[in-house]
Amino acid sequence: MNKDFDRRSFMRLAGLAGVVFASGLGGSARAEEADDFFFVQLSDSHWGFEGEANPDAHGTLSKAVAAVNALPQAPDFIMFTGDLTHTTDDPHERRERMRTFRDLVSPLKAGALRFIPGEHDAALDRGRAFQEFFGPTHYSFDHKGVHFIALDNVSDPGASLGAEQLAWLADDLSRQPAQARIVVFAHRPLFDLAPQWDWATRDGARAVALLQQHENVTVFYGHIHQEHHQMTGAIAHHAATSLIFPLPAPGSQPRRTPLPWDAAQPYRGLGWREVALSRTADQAPVLQQRPVQGGQA
């Protein structure tokens, strides 16, 4: 596909976002606005993983970095939604993996790089090493009229946000009007996607209840290594593909084992996404999925 055409189509779609995911928000077609922007979501690179599920475990992340840098326009920011590294019991090795990961992604061209942990990064030391390299595990920020909230549902190995973070979330949301455009990042799904595979957040329903008091909320998460789109009330939840190996559809087989590497279609199921946002409050984000392809690094 012609890249320029693809780019124009993507940005134009930002004005038509309600068609796809707004779910009754009443989006209408509008011309691209000056404050429209896009960010990139990368997820689940599992740096340090070794296994048959990805014979190019050392090269896949760099291919994604090269692909993002090849975009005709740099994103306003890039968000990594967790599992930057693959878990290890060795605290020294954990830090080595984080250091190498940080070096690998540092060439990314974007207005800012932002991170939240996955359970592989943070659950064995409650986020200590992650914070040394990447800062707080939950935070919020504002960008061009959109309020972004990054949640941590992994530093507790039991997959809870916890009362303290929920209180922080409630306080943060209380400062936002009901119509505010809010985008939430988390690693695990905030709803019970597949509890039999531990694809859930134990107290995620409490976070969703708080978020539901606002009209324009979209959640982007990782963890399940595949695209998945689901609504809870008016909130759209979008799962991201991985940069190491894909996992089967939720609950589709007894065990959540990685899908095997397909030599005929290398990197199948791996990728990243662009998310276009309009400053207009009644338009939902527009998602553009990008595959990992060989030969880009």
Partner 1 sequence: MNGTPLQRRQWLGGAALVLGLGSSAWALGAARPRVIRVVARKFEFVPREIRVRRGETVELQLSAPEVPMGIHVIGLELRADIVPGQVTRLRLTPEQEGRFDFLCDVFCGSGHEDMSGVLVVEGP
List residues binding partner 1 (CB under 8 A): 86-89, 119, 123-124, 154, 157-159, 191-198, 200, 202, 204-205, 208, 250-251, 254-257
Nearer to partner 1 (CB atom), residue 124 or residue 182 = 124
Contact 40, 80 (CB under 8 A): no
Shortest Cβ 261–partner 1 spacing (Å): 17
| Nearest CB to partner 1, comparing residues 147 and 214 | 214
Nearest-angstrom CA–CA distance, 44 and 225: 7
Q: Mention every residue, 6+ apart, whose C-beta is less than 8 A from residue 197.
A: 250, 251, 256
Inter-residue contact 15 to 30 (CB < 8 Å) = yes
| Centroid of chain to Cα 200 | 15
Identify any residues that bridge with 94 across adjacent strands, giving them in sequence order.
Answer: none
Closest to partner 1 by CB, 232 vs 288, is 232
**CB-wise, 54 or 140, nearer to partner 1?**
54
| Minimum distance of partner 1 from residue 297's CB (angstroms) | 26
- How many residues would you count in the chain? 297
Give me the sign of the Cα torsion angle 166, 170, 171, 173.
Answer: positive
253 with 205: CB under 8 angstroms?
Answer: no
Q: Which is nearer to partner 1, 78 or 247 (CB)?
A: 247
Cβ closer to partner 1: 154 or 292? 154
How near is the Cβ of 219 to partner 1 at its closest, in Å? 15
Using an 8 Å Cβ cutoff, are 295 and 64 in contact?
Answer: no
Q: Which is nearer to partner 1, 235 or 286 (CB)?
A: 235
Are 193 and 223 within 8 A, CB to CB? no
The one-letter amino acid at 204: G
